[in-house]
Chains A and B, each alone.
Chain A
Amino acid sequence: GEKVEQHESTLSVREGDSAVINCTYTDTASSYFPWYKQEAGKSLHFVIDIRSNVDRKQSQRLIVLLDKKAKRFSLHITATQPEDSAIYFCAATSGGNYKPTFGKGTSLVVHP
């Protein structure tokens, strides 16, 4: 089955800097790559996604890049703010599979 590796377990940045979280996947059939955010003591909520028919997507300060050849995707958070501090999870879903596989999460801390 699909395996998703999330490379950074923790990440610390200064407010205003950019943060980058990298994930790799194993299944070439995976075609949908969402990101979720979990604030301290709370549940997860969706922040941004990318599908395999594009290699870049942006939503405000969030940018997702997808490199299908390398089976790698990344989340870039620009101009970070303290409220960006959270655990971020990447996930991958094979087309028609409906079984999202998650990475282990990256704990991002943005220092004022």
Chain B
Amino acid sequence: EAAVTQSPRSKVAVTGGKVTLSCHQTNNHDYMYWYRQDTGHGLRLIHYSYVADSTEKGDIPDGYKASRPSQENFSLILELASLSQTAVYFCASSERQGAGNTLYFGEGSRLIVV
């Protein structure tokens, strides 16, 4: 069974609308991440969290908010969706390790903003 699940898997949103991408993990991992994938840019970190009720900014947080209400759940929120936020979004989880952590990815959420 998939240990990191994302919803929705695909969404079309209108410019200026609100979008929430949800992620649920059953790995019992402390760390959760949101990345976006764009052709030519690879994966870029938006937000991450290492404990419930706390989130941290990644490398490209502008235009995004995150919420971690429990260890299992991590949401990415686009309050005012823009065309430039069209991308595939991946959630991932990892254990807390001393010096490095393997990421386990969800299936991805394809967002198209029109």
Q: List A residues at the B interface (Cβ < 8 Å).
A: 1, 6, 31-32, 34, 36, 42-46, 49, 51-52, 89, 93, 95-96, 98-105
Residues facing A in B26-49 (CB within 8 A) are: 31, 33, 35, 40-45, 48
Closest approach, in angstroms, between the C-beta of B110 and any C-beta of chain A?
10
CB-contact partner of A98 in B35, B44, B96, B106, under 8 A:
B96
Q: Which A residues are CB-close (under 8 A) to B42? A: 6, 89, 102-105
Q: Which A residues are CB-close (under 8 A) to B98? A: 95-96
The 9 closest A-B pairs by CB, nearest first: A32-B100, A104-B42, A102-B43, A95-B99, A43-B105, A44-B105, A31-B99, A102-B42, A105-B42
Q: How far is the CA of A42 from the CA of B108 in the complex (A)?
A: 8
Name the residue on A nearest B100 (C-beta).
A32
Number of A-B contacts (CB under 8 A): 66
Pairwise interchain contact B103-A98, C-beta atoms closer than 8 A: no
Name the residue on A nearest B95 (C-beta).
A98
Q: Is B54 an interface residue (CB 8 A)?
A: no
Q: Which B residues are CB-close (under 8 A) to A31? A: 99-100
Pairwise interchain contact A89-B105, C-beta atoms closer than 8 A: no
Given contacts A45-B105, A98-B48, 6 further A-B contacts (CB under 8 A): A32-B100, A42-B107, A46-B102, A46-B103, A100-B103, A103-B42
